[in-house]
Structures are given as structure tokens and as C-alpha cells.
Amino acid sequence: MFSKDNSTKRSSIDLVLMISVALLALIGFAIVFSALSTSPLGQNAFRTQLIALPIAVGAFVFGWLFNYQIYSEQYKNLYIFIMALLIGVLVFGITQRGSHSWFRFGIISFQPSEICRIATILISAAFLQRHKQEIKEFKILVLLGIILLPIFALIMMQPDFSSVVVTAPALLILLFAAGVNIYYFCLILAFGLTAGIFPILWTYLSLNPTLADNFFAHIVLSLKDNIWYILGFSIFIFAICWFFKQLLKQFRVEISGVLIFILAGAILSGFFSGLFVEKKMKPYQRKRVEAFLAPKSDPKGASYNVLQAQIAMGSGGVFGKGLFSGTQSRLGFVPERHTDFILAVLGEETGLFGTLAVLFLYALLLWRTMLIATLSSDIYGYLVCCGIFGIFFTYLIINFGMLIGLVPVAGIPLPFISYGGSNLVASMWAFGIVENIYRRRLTVI
């Protein structure tokens, strides 16, 4: 597909991408209408969605017409603007659903972290563009981390875990596409995996108390609060890494001691991040992890939600029960039916046709975004496309994945389909930018 040379065509908009976005937004609009019709939120919520739609179209047009290279030029100001928004929401914002992450203007509320996801990609891409000569060096990663850390810290203070859950994998994809040294990439992965695995391990062990007698289980459990065990574990990790270096020597692969030291450091900092997450995890979030680890153990508990969502989808069959006719969603068996579990409503009311159509349109979006990345006239456009691809790929995996039992319930909406004005506006803006990159594919700087 990359070999196909579209650069000779002089069209200023990629119709496939635009039509996909329009269709998704249309389907989303109908499904949200249906899901909200019996919701206690009802009319008010639908009115907000109605207001958001023209704003979102405006955002798309803005993104399409506005030269994307200006984001790169002004990335410092963009950074300041985002920081101001995030600090502002902590000071002036209001609390909804346990998160202090909304601005309220009259009847409209606005969630700045949605805009931040796109902005983070724009800023990171601008930074990487400026350092494309040193992209393989480790200091670039450290610098990028330092730049992004305040943004993540402010988002975590709201707290808005779901924003982090989507942005972090998207950044990884961006770094991967930017050509970061695969070794450093593995370091970051090691960090992320350790950070993720330990809370899951601890939850798993608390679910299976009979395992506590096991020697390894005992060690893992003690790592949670025993300072001596943590110290021992740190030394053990360094020892393992050094042993690994010696092992590689046998195969005539020489790795510098510094790198091994950094690897151990990455694993350990991953462990401490995991410890931090474990301590900060809210009961409902732990329930979700538990439900993911043992979905059948407690059908009326946390996994009940996923089960009911699956029943809704499954009962829709191939053709669905028709809009406004899904019993599972209408009678409230499907939780969060207009946001995180909107796909269950879609599946129940429009059947396999509906879900496959949405999946297909998403696949189209991802394909076109990738294609436009290769057509881009400069590296910035390329990087931004890859970042946006990363964001929507993550959305797709998590939202579909949680319904089919692939990943834990993360409370993440499906852009275009789920209820939520801020998300719709941000998503439209993102694809507007992609269209602009397409439009300017032939411009020579």
C-alpha cells in the first residue's frame, strides 16, 4: 500500500478518511440518541451532544485548513496553553464521576484532558522533529520524559487514569515509528510491563489466598510493604542484569555495563511505579482488575457488567433488535451504556452488521492515517500521523477488547460513537489535522 503513489493526485482532502469520520459520527449520533432515550440523563445529555456536533465539525474544518506546521513552530506556546488548561481545571474545574476534570460554561462542560491527548502528540512530535539527528540517543527519551512529566502529573491529579492509559501506548507507538533505538524502546517497555504486572500480580494473589503459602507468592506479597524485601529485590534485579550481561558475553555479544545498569534501573522504577499505582488504586478500579482476572467468579459483581454487555451484544445477533429496542440496554442491564459500553448498545440494536461496520470504519481510519503518514511532506506530519494512529489504535483495542474480555474494563469511551462532546471535538480536530497533512503533502518547505 505504501508503494502506491498518490502524490500525483492534486486533491486537497482525502475523501475516504472524511467519509469514514462522517459515517462514524453519524452512527455514533444515532446510537447515543437511542442509549440516552431511556437514561436518567435523558434530554439534557442529548442536547449537549447536539451542541457538540457543530463545534466538532468546526474543529475538523479548523484542523483541515490550519497549517499543521504551525503546531510545530508554536509548540512551546501550545505546551504553555495545555499546562494552563490543566492547572486551570484543577483550580476552577468541577467534579463529575469522581474526577476533577471538567470546565463548566453554562450548560456545556468541557474536559481539557481530551484536547491534551492530541496536544501531547503534537508537542512530542515537534520535539522529536527538532532532534531527529539524535533520535537514536538515550538523552532524547529522557528529555521528552521531562517535558511530558508535568502534563501526566497534572492529569493524574484530577485523577484521569483513562487519559494516561490511552496516551502512554500512543506515545510508545510514536517513538517506535520515529525510529527510536529498539534497545531503548525495550527499556521503556520493560518499565511499563513491570509497572503493570505487579499490581495485577498482587490483585491475583489476594484473589487466591490459598497460594499465599507458596514460596514465590509469599515473596511477591511481601514486596508490597516490607522494606527489607524491597531492598533485597532491588539487589536481586541488579544481580540478574549483571548475570545477563555475562551470559551474553558467552555468545560474544558485548553490552556496556552502563546499559545493563540502566536496564535494571528501568525495571526497578517500573516496580516502584507499580507500587505507587497499587497504593493509589481505587476500590472500583481494583474490582475491574479482579473481574478481568476471574470473570466467572462473581457474576453479580464487577464482571457482571462485562457479562451483561456481552449478553446485550450476543442477543443482538446478526441484524440486531432495532434502534430503541434493545432490552438489555433499555432496561439498564448494560452499565454506562452511553459511554464506555456504547458498543454493547450498538451490538444489541444493530447486530453484527453494526459492530462490524464500526470496526471496518475504524480500520479504514487507521489505514488512511498510516497512508497519509507516508505521503507527508515533512517529518513532523509523519510523526503526528503516527501519534494519532497510536491514539485511535489504542482506543480501538481497549474499547473493543474490554467487551470481548481481552483487556480489563478501563472506562474508556469509543471516539465518535460514545457520548461525550469533548472527546468528539478532540477526535474531529485530530482527523482534521491528518487531512491538513494530506492537503499539504506536496508543499515544499
Partner 1 sequence: MKQKDFFNINRLRFLQYASYLAVALIAFRLMDIQLISHEKYALAAEQNRTQILYQTAPRGRILAADGKTLAGNVPSFSLYYLPGSQKVDKEYLSSLSSDIASFLNTDSKDILKLLNKGVKSGKAVLIAQNISPKRAFSFSELEVYYSGLYLLEETKRDYPNGAFAAHLLGYMGTMDNKFWNRKEENTDYRLNSKIGKSGIEKRYESELKGRDGGLYLEVDYMGRVKQKLKDNKWAKGADVWTTLNFDVQKAAEEGIKKSITGRGAAVVLDAKTGAVLAMVSAPDFDPNVFIAYGDEGIHPSAKKIPEYNLALQGMYPPASTFKTITGIAALENGRLDLHDHTTCKGKIMMNNREFKCWKTHGPNIDFMEGMAQSCDVYFYELALKTGANSIEKIQKLFRLGQKTGIDLSGEKRGNIYGPSKRARNRTYWFAGDTLNLSIGQGELLLTPLQMAVYGAALASKGNIYRPYYIQKIVDPQGHILKENKPEIIARAELKEGHYEIIHQALKGVVDRATGRAARVEGIDVYGKTGTAQNPHGDDHGWFLAFAGLPGQEPDIALSVFVEFGKGGSSAAAPIARNIIKAYYGVK
Decide: 425 and 52 in contact? Cβ < 8 Å: yes
Q: Closer CB to partner 1, residue 144 or residue 373? A: 373
For residue 182, the minimal CB distance to partner 1 (Å) is: 9
Cα diameter, the chain:
70
Q: Using the rule CB under 8 A, is 437 a contact of partner 1?
A: no
Q: Using the rule CB under 8 A, is 430 a contact of partner 1?
A: no
For residue 1, the minimal CB distance to partner 1 (Å) is: 8
For residue 332, the minimal CB distance to partner 1 (Å) is: 4
Q: Closer CB to partner 1, residue 368 or residue 439? A: 368
Q: Using the rule CB under 8 A, is 137 a contact of partner 1?
A: no
Sheet holding 99-105: strands in order across?
Answer: 94-96, 99-105, 108-110
Peptide bond into 159 cis (omega under 30): yes
Q: Using the rule CB under 8 A, is 84 a contact of partner 1?
A: no
Q: Closer CB to partner 1, residue 212 or residue 363? A: 363
Closest Cα partner for 271 from 215, 199, 171?
199
Q: Closer CB to partner 1, residue 152 or residue 438? A: 438
Stretch that binds partner 1, among 155-163, 204-212, 386-394, 429-437 (CB under 8 A): 386-394
Q: Closer CB to partner 1, residue 87 or residue 379? A: 379
Kindly determine how many residues on this chain lie close enough to bind partner 1 according to the rule CB under 8 A.
51
Q: Which of 109, 378, 407, 410 binds partner 1 (CB under 8 A)?
A: 378
Q: How many CB atoms lie within 10 A of CB 139?
A: 9
Q: Using the rule CB under 8 A, is 410 a contact of partner 1?
A: no
Q: Closer CB to partner 1, residue 414 or residue 433? A: 414
Q: Which of 382, 416, 429, 431 binds partner 1 (CB under 8 A)?
A: 382
Q: Closer CB to partner 1, residue 98 or residue 317? A: 317
Q: Closer CB to partner 1, residue 8 or residue 250? A: 8
Q: Using the rule CB under 8 A, is 27 a contact of partner 1?
A: no
For residue 389, the minimal CB distance to partner 1 (Å) is: 7
Q: Using the rule CB under 8 A, is 2 a contact of partner 1?
A: yes
Q: How many CB atoms lie within 10 A of CB 258?
A: 9
Q: Closer CB to partner 1, residue 290 or residue 348? A: 348
What is the rounded CA–CA span in Å between residue 173 and residue 11?
A: 29
Q: Closer CB to partner 1, residue 205 or residue 372? A: 372
Q: Please, what is the end-to-end C-alpha distance for the chain in angstroms? A: 26
For residue 179, the minimal CB distance to partner 1 (Å) is: 5
User: Using CB under 8 A, which residues numbered 143 to 202 contact partner 1?
Assistant: 173, 176-177, 179
Q: Which of 6, 7, 96, 297 binds partner 1 (CB under 8 A)?
A: 7
The 298-327 contact track toward partner 1, x by CB under 8 A, reads: ----------x-xxxxxxxxx--------x
User: Where does this chain bind partner 1 (CB under 8 A)?
Assistant: 1-2, 7, 132, 173, 176-177, 179, 308, 310-318, 327-328, 331-333, 347-348, 351-352, 355-356, 359, 362-363, 366-367, 370, 373-374, 376, 378-379, 382, 386, 389, 393, 396-397, 400-401, 404, 406, 444
